[in-house]
Copies of this chain bind each other. A is one copy, B any other.
């Protein structure tokens, strides 16, 4: 199958965007994509950025047709730890009807399915049913630092009616899945400073505040004992789950058992009154992503450390405002500081939650395409993660994004033994054709 050959070729480029030594590989992958798209008859431009290049490709746009922007990324996560791979990370291997390689799912498999769908349509019909703008970047895995400026600089060139992305998940094999919401994010780091030097905890223990204890008390202050976020005002403006959502998600099967198996946690835990799926997809959270202070080695070292830190991220839902959440969090942390220690707060990145109406015309078109591709009922879900580019498309281009992902829970994105079922790849090719057709209507 030429489409599969193309995928394997694309996978062989170790296009690890975070690693400077792979910079030539990222570029080579981009160059190969440019040639591939040109060979299909598209007009292609490779745009330099301060980082890795952006590819823009178009068919001949005609007035009166819908314009669809298709986004994907050709960079991949680092493959480490290498010794956990059953076959080499950058030598695509077919085993158990899956392709095993870094990037197989995230995002080359899904990106190449779109390319192959477009190629088939062009080969059969000579044109696409819509004005298509392809936008591929090479920096998604490092936070897309140059994408929003690129969108702003090429606003007219990228003007479109809707964006489509295949970089999210399916709830189960063969179940077409439409993601209509994503959580937002707000990060901060609290650094607690106490004595000027690490102190002997025998000589000074009892006299001064211990920054490790203070940092722990700050982290502990984020939740009540049952798992609700305890920051005053945190839940203000949180949009309630709608009845149809709760009903639809309840029909998706036993999420609790699946989450227990995926995480290996001894038990589930979280905000009372919601299923674990509701908590992950539609409720805001506060998580300690890192905490540290004092002796980190084996055994004991009896010090009072001079400083300690807590790294916190909040996952946000409509209509929480990330900046306001960081204001509330900082005020809450400051209110929990004892005498004898000093708090330094560093604000990190933020992103709005995303929610579109799956009953809108574009939402319905996406669902029709999924239905035709997979048969059966389309799962309507939100996801708990954040995809900042979706907000960038909304902010800069003023359009919604259709998330029609093909990743399965066992595809190991970001982990060793990443893989993509060949059936998913083939479904992706059909999905692209159905989607462009549905969006044209």
Please report the C-alpha to C-alpha distance between residue A206 and residue B276 in the assembled complex, in whole angstroms.
Answer: 7
Contact at A263–B348, with CB atoms within 8 Å? no
Tell me if A24 counts as interface (CB < 8 A to partner B): no
Could you say which residues of chain B place their CB within 8 Å of the CB of A193?
Answer: 266
Contact at A290–B290, with CB atoms within 8 Å? no
Tell me if A269 counts as interface (CB < 8 A to partner B): yes
Tell me if A378 counts as interface (CB < 8 A to partner B): no
A393-427: CB near B (< 8 Å → 1, else 0) gives 00000000000000000000010000000000000
Could you say which residues of chain B place their CB within 8 Å of the CB of A311?
Answer: 294-295, 300-301
Partner of A203, one of B280, B294, B310: B280
Contact at A302–B287, with CB atoms within 8 Å? yes
Size bracket of the A interface:
35 or more
A187-200: CB near B (< 8 Å → 1, else 0) gives 10100011111011
* Partner-contacting stretch, out of A4-12, A40-48, A207-215: A207-215
Please report the C-alpha to C-alpha distance between residue A348 and residue B383 in the assembled complex, in whole angstroms.
Answer: 44
Contact at B259–A208, with CB atoms within 8 Å? yes
Known: A276-B206, A340-B266. A313 touches B292 (CB 8 A): no
Contact at A280–B205, with CB atoms within 8 Å? yes
Could you say which residues of chain B place their CB within 8 Å of the CB of A375?
Answer: none
Could you say which residues of chain B place their CB within 8 Å of the CB of A348?
Answer: 299-300
Please report the C-alpha to C-alpha distance between residue A292 and residue B340 in the assembled complex, in whole angstroms.
Answer: 22
Contact at B290–A206, with CB atoms within 8 Å? no
Partner of A208, one of B206, B265, B291: B265
Please report the C-alpha to C-alpha distance between residue A97 and residue B440 in the assembled complex, in whole angstroms.
Answer: 91
The B-contacting residues of A in range 287-341, CB under 8 angstroms, are 287-296, 299-305, 308, 310-311, 313, 315, 338-341
Contact at B216–A215, with CB atoms within 8 Å? yes
Please report the C-alpha to C-alpha distance between residue A294 and residue B219 in the assembled complex, in whole angstroms.
Answer: 13
Please report the C-alpha to C-alpha distance between residue A207 and residue B289 in the assembled complex, in whole angstroms.
Answer: 15
The B-contacting residues of A in range 372-400, CB under 8 angstroms, are 383-386
Tell me if A183 counts as interface (CB < 8 A to partner B): yes
Contact at A225–B338, with CB atoms within 8 Å? yes
Could you say which residues of chain B place their CB within 8 Å of the CB of A38?
Answer: none
Could you say which residues of chain B place their CB within 8 Å of the CB of A342?
Answer: 266
Could you say which residues of chain B place their CB within 8 Å of the CB of A265?
Answer: 194-196, 207-209, 340-341
Contact at B225–A187, with CB atoms within 8 Å? no
Tell me if A217 counts as interface (CB < 8 A to partner B): yes
A227-249: CB near B (< 8 Å → 1, else 0) gives 10000000000000000000000
Please report the C-alpha to C-alpha distance between residue A218 and residue B386 in the assembled complex, in whole angstroms.
Answer: 30
Tell me if A77 counts as interface (CB < 8 A to partner B): no
Chain B min CB distance to A37 (Å): 31
Known: A266-B340, A287-B302. A222 touches B213 (CB 8 A): yes
Q: Which of A206, A267, A287, A290 has the largest count of B CB atoms less than 10 A from its CB?
A: A206
Q: Residue on B with the closest CB to A414?
A: B200
Contact at B209–A183, with CB atoms within 8 Å? no
Chain B min CB distance to A188 (Å): 9
Tell me if A283 counts as interface (CB < 8 A to partner B): yes
Known: A197-B264, A222-B213. A386 touches B202 (CB 8 A): yes
Contact at A302–B187, with CB atoms within 8 Å? yes
Could you say which residues of chain B place their CB within 8 Å of the CB of A222?
Answer: 213
Contact at A208–B308, with CB atoms within 8 Å? no
Tell me if A349 counts as interface (CB < 8 A to partner B): yes
Contact at B283–A288, with CB atoms within 8 Å? no
Q: Residue on B with the closest CB to A199?
A: B263
Contact at B292–A291, with CB atoms within 8 Å? yes
Tell me if A271 counts as interface (CB < 8 A to partner B): yes
Q: Can you name 9 extra interface pairs (CB under 8 A) apart from A185-B202, A216-B218?
A: A205-B287, A205-B384, A207-B269, A208-B268, A209-B227, A213-B222, A217-B220, A269-B338, A289-B303
